[in-house]
Amino acid sequence: MGMKVVELDRPWVDSPFTVHGFRITTDHEIQKLQASCDYVYVAAKVKRADENTGRPAKRKDYTNTQSFQQALPQAKSAHRQAKSVVKGFFKNLSLGQGFETSVAKKAVKQCVDSVIANQEAMLWLGLLKDVDEYTARHSLNVGLLSIILGRAEGLSPAELETVGLCGMMHDMGKSKIPLEILNKEGAFSDEEFDIMKTHTTLGYEILSEKSDIVDEVANVAHSHHERLNGRGYPRALPAEKISYFSRIVAIADAYDAITSQRVYSPAKTSLEGLRILIGAKGSHFDPELVDRFVECIGIYPAGSVAELSTGEIALVLPSPLEQRNTPNVLIVRDKDKQPCPERTINLDEDIQDSNGQRIKIKHLISDDAFGIDLAKYHEQGATLAG
């Protein structure tokens, strides 16, 4: 338990594992390894030179205290309140007005309580992404993803509230960026990009004036675009100067941006987003935190749209942790990509197609493919998971 499997004694495609490298977290995974392999390779724990960045020495082990169905109503309430708060902040700041951090703290605490109860419920609520409200919605999602990563890291509830506030407020400086730059379609000119990059310093200045929030919130706003190779902005900090919470928020920020539709860029799938993060381990992002993020998000997050090996299109449903690579799915389009009677199948079971082959997820596809109304399934979440 806890060991990271980095290689098998056979090709990954010949095993029941669909991800190249994973940390063992369940007895079910051990049993699958024993049934499939004679031996595996595991990663050694090597202390890094830049490890002293505030990572907690003591960690808390979390387990869900509620089922997805039980947690979803509370998560919806917390999500709705937090979204309203973030939208209000950006509106007030753009008008030159102030904001009450006590309201943000209360909203973040509700989100932390929901994530502790069942993180899958809050992840499910990230299913719908409104491109017209990108900045505010992105800030909310980064806060939630930071809490989820912090939970996987074993942070205390108080620390989760801090990292959630860091994530939720990391882009406050964008309220001072001209809208014609913020919402520009197409690539920035060098001058426009220089202006856009000032949002980190502007956010730091806005948050530094708040005496009722910890300094780390302003620090993360300043540092979330810094990179371990020293090529980030605005200060080109070396790795040892980038704080632990800044590293968490940087990963959450990049993942949500990659997997969101923008005015100038289509959304990539969750799997593509994770592959990009993995490819930037060590150069841009903290390697251990990227590995942890991949573990807690999973390669097939609930709410993803997938094409199965049969050619059918399915929605990935909230599933037990031990089924992260073989989840329950709801088939919503037939092999010709046409609407069909919906049915749920459990990919962890050996369900075979008409040729006697086990049905698997072939790949993830974009959320807007084939006219699927995700809003309908978003509202039916608890029913679908049941």
- Say how many C-beta atoms besides its own lie within 10 A of residue 19's C-beta: 17
Strand order of the sheet with strand 313-316? 339-346, 328-333, 313-316, 305-308, 361-365
Task: List where CATH 1.10.3210.10 sits in the chain.
Answer: 68-297
Give the residue, 51 or 386, on which the prediction is more confident. 386
Of 153, 145, 166, 161, give the one whose Cα is nearest residue 58: 153
Provide, rounded to the nearest whole percent, the portion of the chain with pLDDT above 90.
Answer: 54
Amino acid at 86: V
- At 132-148, the pLDDT tens digits run 577 888 999 999 999 99
Helix (H) / strand (E) element for 345: namely strand 339-346
Contact assessment for residue 110 and residue 73, using Cβ atoms and an 8 Å cutoff: no
- Using omega within 30 degrees of 0 as the cis cutoff, is the peptide bond preceding 178 cis? no
- Report the pLDDT averaged over residues 213-229: 96
* Token representation of residue 137: 């919605």
| pLDDT over threshold 80, residue 8 | yes
Q: Give the Cα separation of 54 and 98 in Å (integer).
A: 31
pLDDT digits (tens, 9 = 90+) for 362-376: 989 887 778 888 777
Q: Evaluate if residue 52 carries a pLDDT over 50.
A: no
Average pLDDT over residues 238-262: 93
Is pLDDT at 48 greater than 50 in this prediction? no
Kindly report the CATH number that applies to the domain delimited by 68-297: 1.10.3210.10
CA gap 35, 13 in Å, rounded? 15
User: In terms of pLDDT, which residue wins out, 283 or 41?
Assistant: 283
pTM exceeding the 0.75 threshold for the entire prediction: yes
Residues 54-107 have pLDDT tens digits of 677 668 889 999 988 899 999 999 999 999 999 999 888 888 888 888 999 999
Do 5 and 41 touch, CB atoms closer than 8 A?
yes
**Rounded Cα gap, residues 328 and 316, in angstroms:** 6
Q: How many CB atoms lie within 10 A of CB 49?
A: 7
In angstroms, rounded to a whole number, what is the distance separating the alpha carbons of residues 14 and 299? 18
- Percentage of residues in the chain having pLDDT higher than 70: 92
Q: How far apart are CA 380 and CA 37, in angstroms?
A: 40
